[in-house]
Structure 1
Amino acid sequence: MSGAALLLAQARNNAWANLRLHKACAKLSQEEFEAPRTGFFPSLRATLNHILVIDRFYVDAMEGGTLGPAAWADPEPCRTMAELQPAQAEVDRRLVAFCEGLDDAALGRVIRVHRITRVQEERADRLLLHVFQHQVHHRGQAHAMLSGTVIKPPQLDEFFSHGEAPLRAVEFAELGWSEDTVFGDFR
């Protein structure tokens, strides 16, 4: 399996985990969504918005944009889950599309990341690994915060498991995918 195929699988897994987590969080009241919780950010709203803002920052750079620090001008651009879900789904689609356009030769391509005082140059593969690690880190914190509510946190680590195939197929369809699209390289 190629490195590009593995990064595409990670991008899809990322979108699927976000879908599952967001569907669970959408069951919370607005008060529960905003309630103070223990974590790096003080609430589910703040944590999930942070993921969105940083994804926008990096995906824009991968697409050749120059959004840079303007991405985090508003650290909580989405006040409700109804606003956050489609915003995150859109940036997830963009990330998957970027990874679909990669081949192994493109993994070493330089991405220009516009920072506050400089332009950082980073290889595409290394930047993607950073983005996925960032997602897992903060999504895990949100998952833990959700466990302190009446809503059961969803399973997020079963992307390649066949234990939830019927539910997975429904969720993949929501994302516009099929089992063959996702698992073709892994069969």
Structure 2
Amino acid sequence: MRPGGLLAGATVAVLASVGLPAVAQASPVVPAQAVLAAHEFPAGSKDYKAFPIGRLPAARPQTARTPCDARAAELDAAVAGASAIEVEAWRGDTLFTASIIDRPVAAQFEAATLACTKAGPKIAPPADLARVNPTVRRSNSQRMEAMVDVRGVNVGVVASSPRGKTLDADTFWQVLRAQVAKVERQP
């Protein structure tokens, strides 16, 4: 056997083992297929509802009078024409919402949040989620939210409880893990 043939064969084997999964990962994520289904929420979840959004409206031209106006306009422009879906389910006294927007917009959401609201402190994610670098905030004892861009789409998860009820933070992390994992598994 010629050395060149062995090298060519080894190169093909390496490209096949490394390159083909990358090609499969390059397929666009379809929000309606990537969002959590009812059975994918943690056990004990109920009252699942889905809200397909279709295409978000085009951004309206506006004059930015404040930093909030400017960041909101940037967010509107970033999501204009995007396909999105949101689902929700209750578990105990906490409502969990998961959403997918067909493009990465976590930075624009974070900029608008900081400019337009009294943003709660950032919370470090558990080690297994740190690799995707979500922005997680707890705005009060009744609300936690996360935004992260994964495989070219935006994943959002919100947990909220009525006043006087305990927020289920452990399930929040389970829902975020499940939603990120489902997006990562999409063909």
Given the two structures, how large is their TM-score scaled by the length of structure 2? 0.25
Please state which structure has a larger fraction of its residues in strand. Answer: 2
Please state which structure has a larger fraction of its residues in helix. Answer: 1
Using CA pairs below 8 Å that are at least 6 residues apart, which structure has the higher relative contact order?
1
Given the two structures, how large is their TM-score scaled by the length of structure 1? 0.25
